[in-house]
Structure formats: C-alpha cells, structure tokens
Amino acid sequence: MNLIESIKSAFRSVLSNKMRTFLTMLGIIIGISSVIMITSIGQGSQAALTGEFDKLGISMLTISLRDPGKATSKDQLTIDDMEIIKSHPQTTAVTPLFQGGNAQIQLRNPKEYRSSILIGVNEFYNDISSFEFLYGRFLIDTDVKMKSKVAIIDDGLAKDIFGYDDVVGQQICIQVRQIKHHFTVIGVIKNPAGDFAKLFPDQIPTMIYMPIGAIHDLYGTNRIHNFVVAIKDKEAINNTSIELTKMLEKKHRNEDQYYVQSATESLDIVNKVLGYFTAFISFVAGISLLVGGIGVMNIMLVTVTERTREIGIRKSLGAKNRDIRIQFLIEAMILTIIGGLIGIVIGYLGGLGIGSLMKITPRVSLLVVILTVTLSSMIGIVFGVYPANKAAKLDPIEALRYE
C-alpha cells in the first residue's frame, strides 16, 4: 500500500467513530489551546508594556543607591544632589522621588481602608512620566515649595473613595503610622496599570502623588530614594549615566555607591521576567499534552485489538509489517495534528477573549504555530510507535482466528 492509500485508509478509520476520535483528541486540544492562549497573552502583554515605555520615552534615567543597606549617612542621596544632576548638559528635567509604604486610605465606609503607595516628587515628574489627566492638574512650583497637602490620585481610587471620579477639590484621609492626615485632591489621572488594576486590585496597589516635602513631613525624614532624570539625546544615555555617577561620587567622596538605570534596562528586566513566567506557565499547561498523548496511545491499543482480524486479512493478502506500522502511525498523527490545529484556533480565540478584558492585543507568532504543529506531530509519532509496532508484529494466522 502506498503512502496516499495509507493516509486515506487512516482518515476512514479515524472518521468511523467520531465520538471516540473527539474524546481521544480532547487532551491534545486542551493542552495546545492552553499553551497558545498563555503565550499569546504573554507576548501581547510584553508588546503593551513596550508601548507604555515608548510613551514614557527611553531617554530617561533613574539614579539610586546601589546597596541602601550598606550605605552610610554621607552616601545618602539628598535634595542638594538635584542641582548637580541639573547642571549636566544632557539633563532636561529631574525630580527627586521618595516612596512611602504602609499608608492606609479611608474609603466611603469610614471603617474601610485600602493600602496605597505614596510617591513624593516635584513639579517636573509629570513631564517625565506623561500621565493621562482626566481632571485637574499636576503639582506646580508653589505646591512643592510650600509642602502643600495636595495629592494626585487615579480614577480607580477616586471611585473607591467617593463613588465617582471627578473629585478635584475633595479631601482624602491618609493614615500613616496610625496618624490621620487630610490631603486635597488637585488632579485625577487614568490608572497607568489600566484594566490590569481592575482585574487584580489586590495585587496592583494604587499610587498617590504628592509634593516631596509633604511626604517627608508624613514620614519624618528628608531621605531621597532616587532621582528620575530626563535626557535630551537617547544616544547619549550610556555616557550620561557614567558622567552623572562620577559627579555624585565626587560630591559624596565615595566610589561605586550609585546605580543608574535607563528605562530601556528596566523594560528589558520586566520583559525577561514576564517571558520566564509565560514559559513556566506554558510548561505547566503543556503537561496536559503528555496526558493527551497517553490517551492517544491507549485508544490506539484498543483500536489494534478491535482490528486484529482486519490486520490478519491484510497480512494474508501481502501487506508487510512496515505497511501496518505506517498505517497506525499515520492514524495517531492524524489524531494529534487535527487536535493541535483545533487547539491553536481555540487558544487564539481564548486569547482574544481574555485580551479584550485586559485591554491588550494577544499575539501569536508564526514560530509558535509551527512549533505547536511540529509538537503535535511528534506526540503522534512518540505515542503511536508502541501500538503501531504491536499491530505490525501480530501473527497473521492468529489474527485471522481472532473473533
């Protein structure tokens, strides 16, 4: 029997029992669709993240202590360092940044609080971060100089506190170290995390922006966690990083105490972590392919038993062991390849559904599709070899006697 006839015969056999065929392919379909859905969401998330960083611009640097735990008092970043950073010819804007944790925000129910991260900055932070304002404004020079108790919150937090988002002029209650402080809302921004924040409100904390002096008063400190710097020429980022580091080391009379990270480096790190996470989840989902492959092998063994007499007749008519082996291998591959193709379609549609909820566009690369089809074929071969060999080795005389 030639290859074409073997394929036709295999298709007839597979289609002769549609329900069994579907149930056999189900494990493969679930495994492949899970892998496709996860990878498409992962790649879509990476693309969305890259887009957000592009909005910020890659000409941005963050300066911080390399090891805060080992730094001495003379190594600490201070407000005075901002003047040194501003003096660099490549600097277009710079803001100090202090991040305060363990803050509780009082919600509509006075007994309910929500954890939040407080961010202290100056008036230039908006130029660097490019917030999307829905209402109000960002900090101005007067707010920073007067250490005004004013705040910028996101629309999600505004709705949690007041039930609506146009809350400019309203006061919010911020509790830090068991002490309550009242701040006036001067601006409402769209949550930078977008729909991720709605889907995972407990995992993605809200952030409140306020003058650097005001947050220092809340926490009783004058520390600076880092400086965020906008650079004129993105091609000069590496040289600027080195020069700024040397300038700070000269002022503080130390060495190797400061770390300058570009937005591109931050993006690479986040993408790498997201890539590893996607790969791990895909691997876990791919375990179901092993279960699906075992299911294919079991059904093929049952098929061999059911068709023992047919195998005996074919052998008596001159079919060789190789012909029988190829026949059953093709049947196994048909089951897994069709299951894989169905899984690709279902996985992509599932990715579109989840992507619409997360407001991201899932992406499936051609390489992933090719690898998936190849993997489906390999599963058919690997788990079809044993049943195919068993069928090929049947004694034709004993097979003809089988009832």
Q: What is the DSSP string of 169-195?
A: T-EEEEEETTEEEEEEEEEEE--TTTH
Instruction: Pick the closest to residue 109 from 53, 182, 162 (CA basis).
Output: 162
Q: Residue 171 has what pLDDT?
A: 96
Q: Residue 96 has what pLDDT?
A: 94
Shared domain for 32 and 83, answered yes or no, is no
Shared domain for 222 and 121, answered yes or no, is yes
Is residue 181 in a domain?
A: yes
Shared domain for 75 and 19, answered yes or no, is no
Report the run of H or E that residue 65 belongs to, with start and end. Answer: strand 60-65
Instruction: Pick the closest to residue 204 from 102, 263, 106, 117 (CA basis).
Output: 117
Q: Residue 295 has what pLDDT?
A: 84
Rounded to 5 degrees, what are φ and ψ at 177?
55, 45
Residues 6+ apart with CB under 8 A from 5: none
Q: What is the DSSP letter of 220?
A: T
Under a CB-based contact definition with an 8 Å cutoff, are residues 116 and 208 in contact? yes
Which of 211, 234, 256 is the endpoint of a domain? 256
Instruction: Name the one residue in this structure whose structure tokens are 């071969």.
Output: 381
Q: Residue 362 has what pLDDT?
A: 85
Q: Residue 195 has what pLDDT?
A: 55
Under a CB-based contact definition with an 8 Å cutoff, are residues 74 and 254 in contact? yes
Shared domain for 311 and 387, answered yes or no, is yes
Q: Let me know the angle formed at the C-alpha of 373 by 367 and 378, rounded to the nearest 5 degrees.
A: 120
Shared domain for 12 and 132, answered yes or no, is no
Task: Output the tens digit of pLDDT for each of the chain's 403 residues.
Answer: 566 776 777 777 777 778 888 888 888 888 888 888 888 888 888 777 777 666 655 578 889 888 877 878 888 888 888 899 999 998 889 999 999 988 999 988 888 888 899 999 999 998 888 788 999 999 999 999 999 999 999 998 999 899 999 999 999 999 998 899 999 999 999 887 655 555 555 556 789 999 999 999 999 998 899 999 988 887 788 888 889 989 988 888 888 888 888 777 777 777 787 778 777 877 777 777 888 888 888 888 888 888 778 878 887 887 788 888 888 888 888 888 888 899 999 999 998 888 888 777 888 888 888 888 888 888 888 888 888 888 888 777 776 766 5
Is residue 153 in a domain?
A: yes
Number of domains in the chain: 2
Is residue 86 in a domain?
A: yes
Is residue 221 in a domain?
A: yes
Shared domain for 282 and 378, answered yes or no, is yes
d(CA 13, CA 306): 12
Which of 208, 232, 256 is the endpoint of a domain? 256
Shared domain for 251 and 285, answered yes or no, is no
Shared domain for 392 and 275, answered yes or no, is yes
Shared domain for 85 and 232, answered yes or no, is yes
Shared domain for 221 and 364, answered yes or no, is no
Q: Residue 130 has what pLDDT?
A: 75
Q: Residue 317 has what pLDDT?
A: 80
Is residue 61 in a domain?
A: no
Which of 256, 283, 301 is the endpoint of a domain? 256
Shared domain for 382 and 277, answered yes or no, is yes
Shared domain for 92 and 215, answered yes or no, is yes
Under a CB-based contact definition with an 8 Å cutoff, are residues 177 and 214 in contact? no
Burial class (CB in 10 A: 0-12, 13-18, 19+), 16: exposed
Is residue 241 in a domain?
A: yes
Q: Residue 133 has what pLDDT?
A: 92
Is residue 317 in a domain?
A: yes
Under a CB-based contact definition with an 8 Å cutoff, are residues 212 and 144 in contact? yes
Is residue 57 in a domain?
A: no
Range of the domain at 130: 67-256
* Residue 214 Ramachandran class (φ > 0 left, ψ -120 to 50 alpha, else beta): alpha
Q: What is the DSSP letter of 224?
A: -
Query: pTM for this structure?
Result: 0.66
